[in-house]
Amino acid sequence: MFMLHKQLEADCFNLGRLPLCQVLMMNDRQYPWFILVPRRPNVSEIFQLSSADQAALWHESSWFGQMIMDVFNGEKLNIGALGNMVPQLHLHHIVRNQYDASWPAPVWGRLPAKHYSVEDAAKRIGLIEARLLNYRAPEAEFGGLALDDSDFEA
Protein backbone atom coordinates (compact mmCIF):
# COMPACT_ATOMS: atom_id res chain seq x y z
CA MET A 1 0.00 0.00 0.00
CA PHE A 2 1.33 3.44 -0.97
CA MET A 3 1.98 5.89 1.84
CA LEU A 4 3.55 9.31 1.42
CA HIS A 5 6.81 9.71 3.33
CA LYS A 6 6.33 11.69 6.54
CA GLN A 7 8.96 14.29 5.56
CA LEU A 8 7.15 15.03 2.29
CA GLU A 9 3.90 15.36 4.25
CA ALA A 10 5.56 17.80 6.64
CA ASP A 11 7.29 19.94 3.98
CA CYS A 12 4.61 20.10 1.30
CA PHE A 13 1.02 20.89 0.43
CA ASN A 14 -0.96 18.12 -1.27
CA LEU A 15 -2.37 19.43 -4.58
CA GLY A 16 -3.96 16.31 -6.01
CA ARG A 17 -3.20 13.43 -8.31
CA LEU A 18 -2.26 12.49 -11.80
CA PRO A 19 -2.86 8.88 -12.91
CA LEU A 20 0.48 7.71 -11.44
CA CYS A 21 1.74 10.52 -9.24
CA GLN A 22 0.71 12.42 -6.16
CA VAL A 23 1.32 16.14 -6.79
CA LEU A 24 2.83 18.21 -3.99
CA MET A 25 3.96 21.81 -3.58
CA MET A 26 7.01 22.56 -1.45
CA ASN A 27 6.27 25.05 1.31
CA ASP A 28 8.85 27.56 0.09
CA ARG A 29 7.51 30.69 -1.58
CA GLN A 30 10.91 31.63 -3.04
CA TYR A 31 10.34 29.34 -6.03
CA PRO A 32 7.48 27.62 -7.83
CA TRP A 33 8.57 24.21 -6.49
CA PHE A 34 6.51 21.07 -6.98
CA ILE A 35 7.08 17.37 -6.42
CA LEU A 36 5.66 14.35 -8.23
CA VAL A 37 5.58 11.13 -6.19
CA PRO A 38 4.71 7.88 -7.98
CA ARG A 39 2.04 6.15 -5.91
CA ARG A 40 3.87 2.85 -5.70
CA PRO A 41 4.96 1.29 -2.39
CA ASN A 42 8.60 0.72 -1.50
CA VAL A 43 10.11 2.42 -4.56
CA SER A 44 13.22 4.54 -4.20
CA GLU A 45 14.61 4.49 -7.74
CA ILE A 46 13.08 5.00 -11.18
CA PHE A 47 14.44 1.65 -12.41
CA GLN A 48 12.34 -0.10 -9.74
CA LEU A 49 9.17 0.99 -11.52
CA SER A 50 7.62 -1.24 -14.18
CA SER A 51 8.25 -0.19 -17.78
CA ALA A 52 4.69 1.09 -18.03
CA ASP A 53 5.11 3.15 -14.84
CA GLN A 54 8.44 4.53 -16.08
CA ALA A 55 6.75 5.68 -19.29
CA ALA A 56 3.83 7.15 -17.32
CA LEU A 57 6.22 8.98 -14.98
CA TRP A 58 8.14 10.45 -17.91
CA HIS A 59 4.91 11.60 -19.57
CA GLU A 60 3.44 13.09 -16.40
CA SER A 61 6.73 14.81 -15.56
CA SER A 62 7.05 16.31 -19.04
CA TRP A 63 3.44 17.48 -19.14
CA PHE A 64 3.63 18.89 -15.61
CA GLY A 65 6.94 20.63 -16.29
CA GLN A 66 5.63 22.35 -19.41
CA MET A 67 2.47 23.38 -17.61
CA ILE A 68 4.27 25.00 -14.65
CA MET A 69 6.77 26.70 -16.97
CA ASP A 70 3.82 28.27 -18.81
CA VAL A 71 1.98 29.23 -15.59
CA PHE A 72 5.04 30.80 -13.94
CA ASN A 73 6.77 32.14 -17.07
CA GLY A 74 9.98 30.24 -16.29
CA GLU A 75 13.32 30.53 -18.01
CA LYS A 76 14.59 27.11 -16.91
CA LEU A 77 13.00 24.05 -15.36
CA ASN A 78 15.08 22.12 -12.83
CA ILE A 79 14.02 18.49 -12.36
CA GLY A 80 15.73 16.26 -9.85
CA ALA A 81 15.32 12.94 -8.09
CA LEU A 82 17.88 13.08 -5.31
CA GLY A 83 16.45 10.95 -2.52
CA ASN A 84 19.37 11.37 -0.15
CA MET A 85 17.18 12.67 2.68
CA VAL A 86 13.84 11.13 1.69
CA PRO A 87 14.29 7.66 0.19
CA GLN A 88 10.80 7.48 -1.37
CA LEU A 89 11.02 8.15 -5.11
CA HIS A 90 9.96 11.72 -5.83
CA LEU A 91 10.79 14.18 -8.62
CA HIS A 92 11.31 17.84 -7.82
CA HIS A 93 10.12 20.30 -10.49
CA ILE A 94 11.39 23.82 -9.84
CA VAL A 95 10.67 26.76 -12.13
CA ARG A 96 13.71 29.03 -12.25
CA ASN A 97 14.44 32.47 -13.62
CA GLN A 98 17.24 34.98 -13.32
CA TYR A 99 15.35 36.93 -10.65
CA ASP A 100 14.86 34.08 -8.18
CA ALA A 101 16.60 34.02 -4.80
CA SER A 102 19.27 31.47 -5.75
CA TRP A 103 19.88 32.05 -9.47
CA PRO A 104 21.92 30.55 -11.06
CA ALA A 105 22.92 28.18 -8.23
CA PRO A 106 20.91 25.10 -7.27
CA VAL A 107 18.19 25.69 -4.68
CA TRP A 108 19.11 22.83 -2.33
CA GLY A 109 20.69 24.04 0.88
CA ARG A 110 21.19 27.53 -0.49
CA LEU A 111 18.67 29.50 1.55
CA PRO A 112 16.30 28.60 4.37
CA ALA A 113 12.72 28.05 3.24
CA LYS A 114 10.32 30.97 3.42
CA HIS A 115 6.90 29.51 4.12
CA TYR A 116 3.73 30.60 2.38
CA SER A 117 1.02 32.54 4.12
CA VAL A 118 -2.29 30.69 4.07
CA GLU A 119 -3.63 33.09 1.43
CA ASP A 120 -0.58 32.86 -0.85
CA ALA A 121 -0.48 29.07 -0.62
CA ALA A 122 -4.16 28.87 -1.53
CA LYS A 123 -3.63 31.12 -4.57
CA ARG A 124 -0.70 29.09 -5.90
CA ILE A 125 -2.41 25.78 -5.19
CA GLY A 126 -5.50 27.02 -7.04
CA LEU A 127 -3.41 27.81 -10.12
CA ILE A 128 -2.21 24.21 -10.33
CA GLU A 129 -5.17 22.21 -9.00
CA ALA A 130 -7.45 23.37 -11.80
CA ARG A 131 -4.88 22.49 -14.46
CA LEU A 132 -4.36 18.96 -13.12
CA LEU A 133 -7.85 18.19 -14.41
CA ASN A 134 -6.62 18.92 -17.96
CA TYR A 135 -4.05 16.10 -17.97
CA ARG A 136 -4.64 13.43 -20.57
CA ALA A 137 -2.63 10.22 -20.56
CA PRO A 138 -1.31 9.15 -23.95
CA GLU A 139 -3.67 6.89 -25.85
CA ALA A 140 -1.04 4.59 -27.33
CA GLU A 141 1.23 2.36 -25.28
CA PHE A 142 4.75 3.77 -25.16
CA GLY A 143 6.23 0.28 -25.59
CA GLY A 144 4.30 -0.25 -28.82
CA LEU A 145 6.10 2.46 -30.79
CA ALA A 146 8.07 1.12 -33.71
CA LEU A 147 11.17 2.78 -35.09
CA ASP A 148 12.61 2.33 -38.53
CA ASP A 149 15.85 3.46 -40.15
CA SER A 150 14.33 6.82 -41.10
CA ASP A 151 14.19 7.71 -37.38
CA PHE A 152 17.98 7.89 -37.18
CA GLU A 153 20.52 10.10 -38.90
CA ALA A 154 23.29 8.40 -40.81
| pLDDT tens digits for range 20-70 | 999 999 999 999 999 999 999 999 999 999 999 999 999 999 999 999 999
Q: Which residues pair with 33 in a beta bridge?
A: 94
**How high is the pLDDT of residue 101?**
93
Is residue 76 scored above 90 in pLDDT?
yes
Grade residue 141 by pLDDT with cuts at 50, 70 and 90: low
Give the CATH number of domain 6-136; options: 3.40.50.1820, 1.20.1050.10, 3.30.428.10, 3.40.50.720: 3.30.428.10
DSSP string for residues in 29-52: TTS-EEEEEE--TT--SGGGS-HH
Does the pLDDT of residue 139 top 80, yes or no? Answer: no
Rounded to two decimals, the pTM is 0.89
6-9: long-range pairs with CB below 8 Å, 24+: 7/85, 7/86, 8/35, 8/37, 8/86, 8/88, 8/90
Cβ atoms 116, 126 nearer than 8 A? no
pLDDT at 153: 52
Average pLDDT, the chain: 92
Q: Of residues 141 and 34, which shows the higher confidence score? A: 34
**Domain layout of the chain by residue ranges:** 6-136
